[in-house]
Structure 1
Amino acid sequence: MEIYGYRVPAAAALIVWVVIWEIVGRFDLLLMFPPFTEVLASLPDVIGTPSFAEAARITVVSYLAGLALAIVVGIGIGLLMGLVKRADQILNMWVNIFLSAPLSALVPVIMILFGMGSPTVVATVFMFAVWIIALDTRAGVLHASPSLLEMGRAFGASRGQRLKLILLSALPEILAGIRLGVIRGVKGVVIGQLLVSIIGVGALFSLYSQNFLMAHFWALILILFAFALSLAELINRLEARVEYYAGSRS
């Protein structure tokens, strides 16, 4: 990012928002926004409690289970859509509907199917993450290099080996879908724990909001943001390592 010819790091935008947040908090313009420095000061109080450790354990287990299921199913659906035209005609509309639909409204339905507790949270994470992974996998399969596949047939590659070639060729798009699914999954785990199963971080959000501990509330949000962005950055670095696959299709 450049301003008046000077290169400014993208993170500088965060500093601007932090300053605005601090000013709003200091002047008590909004009850829900304590000063940013107060939020930072409350981080040790939030992280150091036994309730946070237990909430983090429940949340991470539910999140990773739902995300792993979304990755496996999403890649499978995307491969099917990309390889079988008839399946793409049937599934494409439904995948796009679920991707754009307000999935929060479906959480009570998920609760009826899976009951109260962690299974509902796992299903919610799955629903939030799977569709973007499926669509990006489909895009990667459709953009697989025809010459690469033709070479596989010419050298007598088996069906499984040709499928491996397609997966490797689609890997950049698959990783992009997983990166987006990671972020959407964090949203799903919080919504699932807040709306249906008051467990994990959902229970802490409820506790802090009911007792007007807004600094602790926002500190917990910062922790979740840091968790989601860290996972997304790890996948982004992995994307950079396999970028040469995309180059072979240009």
Structure 2
Amino acid sequence: MELYGYQVPKMAALLVWAVIWEIIGQFELVMLFPPFTDVLMAIPDVITTPSFFEAARITVLSYLGGLALALVIGVSLGLLMGLVKPADALLNMWVNVFLSAPLSALVPVIMILFGMGMPTVIVTVFMFAVWIIALDTRAGVLHVSSSLLEMSASFGASRWQRMKIILLSALPEILAGFRLGVIRGVKGVVIGQLLVSIIGVGALFALYSQNFLMAHFWALILILFGFALGLAELIGRLEQRVEYYAGARS
């Protein structure tokens, strides 16, 4: 980021918001926002409690289960839409509808179908993440160069070998969709645990808010943000390592 001819690190924007937060907290302008320094000091208290480790275990298992399911179904659905035009005409509208729909409203319906507990949270994570993965995979498949497929056919490639070429060529978009799905999945796991049965981090959010432990409440949110952004950054670095596939398509 460039400001008045000077290169400013991207983290500077976060520092500005942290200073504003600290000022609001110190002057007690809003009761729900304690000083940012109090939130930072509450992080060790949050992560060292036994309840946090149990909540983290439940949350991570639910999150990874839903995300793995979303990756498998999303990539498969995107391949189907990108390769089969009738399937794309049938499914594309519905995928876009679910992507833009307020999925939080569907959580009670999911709860009725799957009961109270971890299965509902897994399905909620899946619902939040799968659609963006499917659409980005579809976009990647549609950008595969026809010359690559013609060359594979001329060399007598098998169906599996042609599918491998398509997957590798669409890999940048697949990873981009997965990175966005990772972030949306964090939202899904929190909403699922809050609205369904108050398990995992949802139980901690409820505990802190009911007892007005707002520093601990925001500390838990920062931990979740750090978790989501850390995963997204790892996938982003993997995207950079496979960018040459996108360049080979042009």
TM-score for both structures, normalised by structure 2: 1.00
| 1:6 and 2:6 are equivalent in the alignment | yes
Equivalent pair of 1:179/1:236 in contact (CA under 8 Å): yes
1:206 partner amino acid: A
Residue in structure 2 matched with residue 200 of structure 1 by the alignment: 200
Residue in structure 2 matched with residue 84 of structure 1 by the alignment: 84
Shift of 1:21: 0.3
Residue in structure 1 matched with residue 36 of structure 2 by the alignment: 36
Shift of 1:197: 1.8
How many residue pairs were aligned? Answer: 250
Residue in structure 2 matched with residue 120 of structure 1 by the alignment: 120
Q: Distance in 1 between matches of 2:41 and 2:163?
A: 52
Q: Deviations over 1:30-86 (max 9, x none)?
A: 000000000001111100000000000000000000000000000000000000000
Residue in structure 1 matched with residue 26 of structure 2 by the alignment: 26
**3-state DSSP class of the match of 2:98?**
helix
Equivalent pair of 1:121/1:197 in contact (CA under 8 Å): no
Equivalent pair of 1:42/1:215 in contact (CA under 8 Å): yes
| 1:60 and 2:34 are equivalent in the alignment | no
Unaligned runs of 5+ in 2: none
Q: Distance in 1 between matches of 2:21 and 2:171?
A: 39
| 1:184 and 2:184 are equivalent in the alignment | yes
Q: Distance in 1 between matches of 2:198 and 2:74?
A: 28
Q: 1:96-111, aligned counterparts within 5 Å? A: 96-111=96-111
Q: 1:126-205, aligned counterparts within 5 Å? A: 126-205=126-205
Deviant stretches of 4+, over 3 Å: none
**3-state DSSP class of the match of 1:239?**
helix
Residue in structure 2 matched with residue 244 of structure 1 by the alignment: 244
Equivalent pair of 1:120/1:197 in contact (CA under 8 Å): no
Q: Deviations over 1:174-228 (max 9, x none)?
A: 0000000000000000000001121000000000000000000000000000000
Shift of 1:141: 0.2
Q: Percent identity?
A: 81
Unaligned runs of 5+ in 1: none
**3-state DSSP class of the match of 2:249?**
coil
Q: Deviations over 1:6-39 (max 9, x none)?
A: 0001110000000000000000000000000000
Q: Distance in 1 between matches of 2:246 and 2:173?
A: 9
Q: Distance in 2 between matches of 1:246 and 1:175?
A: 12
**3-state DSSP class of the match of 1:248?**
helix
Alpha-carbon RMSD: 0.4
1:213 partner amino acid: L
Shift of 1:249: 1.6
TM-score for both structures, normalised by structure 1: 1.00
**3-state DSSP class of the match of 1:121?**
helix
Equivalent pair of 1:143/1:170 in contact (CA under 8 Å): yes
